[in-house]
Amino acid sequence: MKIAIETERLLLRRLRPEDLDAWYEMDSDAEVHRYLGKSPITDLQQLKDVLANVQQQYIDNGIGRWAMLDKNTNTFLGWAGLKLMKEPTQGHEEYYDLGYRLLRKHWGKGYATEAAKAWVNYGFEEMNLSEICGRADIGNAASRHVLEKAGLEYIDDRDFDGQPHAWYCIQKGKWQNHKKQQA
């Protein structure tokens, strides 16, 4: 696994303990959790447990969510990345889930899309994945738009934890064809 991924404006790297304060600001925000089950973090220990889980994913799966930083200022903007999901999901025993989350003050600036595109590229070119999927609450138009701009295609609506979500996927061959057309 690479140590970092750079885009025009972003540095993507593994999450670390020094990210906890800004990450807590993000994950304790009820508006950030509006489409995430409405269960914001309520204390720092919860987030420390999440970080330990993410770091274990790096060890077990070689991938997980990474910090998303402003490349020029090193400011924590949120996280993004691929996560190996091992819970069966209607036809997928295991799949790589494209995810992202930003501090509210960084919404609407294109960071999620920039990171999502970088992760799709990384997943297909570096990890040699055959497919990448993602999901968004059906009411979360902004997140659905990010998935679409990253090249994923809407498949159908599915239930996740009792909530309807839009399910998106893209196969490597389709992504390669799309990339050739863009060149």
Q: pLDDT tens-digit profile of 100-119?
A: 999 999 999 999 999 999 99
What percentage of residues in the chain have a pLDDT greater than 70?
95
Question: Residue 65 is inside which H or E element, if any?
Answer: strand 65-70
Assign residue 168 the CATH number of its domain. 3.40.630.30
Number of domains in the chain: 1
> For residues 168 and 95, is the Cβ–Cβ distance under 8 A?
no
For 22-74, how does the pLDDT look when each residue is reduced to its tens digit (9 = 90+)? 999 999 999 999 988 778 999 999 999 999 999 999 999 999 999 999 999 99
Structure tokens at 114: 């920039």
pLDDT at 91: 64
Burial of 152 (0-12, 13-18, 19+ CB in 10 A): buried
Tokens of 132: 């990448």
For 142, the domain range is 4-182
* Helix (DSSP H) and strand (DSSP E) numbers for the chain: 5, 8
